[in-house]
Chain A
């Protein structure tokens, strides 16, 4: 029964190497909440841009006739990991959690696991 702010704080504090987190509505590309980020990492711009990533992947699956849903999307940069987790809960259709991790400090398997837990606690 956490609120959105607590969920993002939880993501930032419990996931090793987290640099920023956002909860994004991909119907509009709007971030409903952001935490962290910096001058070099504008999470609002990232939210709008990654909405296109999610939409492109959904469209590709449609074209390939894949009847499945996306659990998460991982983008590996040389210095960062970007994790996109689509929320699947009862009222959560149309939202994703976006997490930026420092590749040197992050444990990817652990981060994915934690993100799943945070999604469950958000209960959306």
Chain B
């Protein structure tokens, strides 16, 4: 397989605007260095973690993104028991992913696609935090490994290109980052003009209750947080959801990040296993 991720095309580069934030690229020098060194371990912070093996990204997790288990079980693809069994039995040997295939729960193709999709989804929110006051992770825990085990490593430059492309995609859809973290408020039917939204966006609109933020909608639907964010921006551009004013008081954001606790638990577990 050749590098599977879209590169930066001239057209999309040209459309990048001045609002591309500087905060979003913080921490990337660390990532570049780790990639160049061929490091193995976890780069973590309060917005999530990137796991590297030999300098390539093998897993990403963000507290605002539905993880692989959530995606597989929310859609009914796997029973929660089957997922937990794989985590419990495959986790200690860092091979929960392979165990799902060996037990016939998932095909290899499904495992790869679901994992890659979850990896890029989480990596976007790790490298482009929703809360602009947060920065990308900068602490590195050497030799830390993820219990899913390696599935399909992604080279760091490929990941960074994709995160940049996604950032520009959002920017092009509707250049108002305010909609990303605020509760999604549908505009009432009477105010709507033109035809209704397309199917993916319809589910998002149906789940918008004026309280949930885009990432909470993604969790409720068990789908990609980035795709939901993009749908919300497109809905805002179409005038179907309200865009909060930039000077509006801070609205309740996504659930408080749990990543530090998760990282701590991994470190404790790794330490116990080393005994």
Chain A residues within 8 Å of B, Cβ to Cβ: 1-8, 22-23, 25, 27-35, 37, 42-45, 47-48, 55, 58-59, 62-63, 90-95, 122-124
Residues of B within 8 A of A42 (CB): 7, 9
| Residues on the A chain within 8 Å of B165, using CB | 30, 48
The size bracket of the interface on B is 35 or more
Closest 8 CB pairs of A and B: A27-B227, A44-B6, A123-B107, A59-B198, A3-B108, A63-B195, A122-B109, A33-B4
Question: What are the residues of chain B within 8 A of A8 when measuring CB–CB?
Answer: 1
B5 at the interface (CB under 8 A from A): yes
Q: Considering the chains assembled together, what is the distance between the CA atoms of A21 and B219 in angstroms?
A: 31
**20 pairs of residues in contact across A and B, judged by CB atoms under 8 Å:** A3-B109, A25-B113, A25-B224, A28-B224, A32-B113, A34-B1, A35-B1, A35-B2, A43-B2, A44-B7, A45-B6, A45-B9, A58-B199, A62-B202, A90-B110, A91-B77, A94-B200, A94-B223, A122-B107, A123-B109
Contact A1 B107 (CB under 8 A): yes
**Is B230 among interface residues, defined by CB-CB distance under 8 A?**
yes
What residues on A are CB-neighbors of B106 within 8 Å?
91
Which residues of chain A are within 8 angstroms of B210 by Cβ–Cβ distance? none
**Cβ-defined partner of A28 (8 Å) among B2, B199, B226:** B226
B75 touching A1, Cβ below 8 Å:
no
Expressed in whole angstroms, the minimum distance between the Cβ of A61 and any Cβ of chain B is 8
* Residue B196 lies at the interface, judged by CB distance under 8 Å to chain A: yes
How far is B108's CA from A7's CA once the two chains are assembled, in angstroms? 11
B266 smallest CB distance to A (angstroms): 27
Nearest B residue to A1 by beta-carbon distance? B107
B162, B195, B198, most chain A CB atoms within 10 A: B198
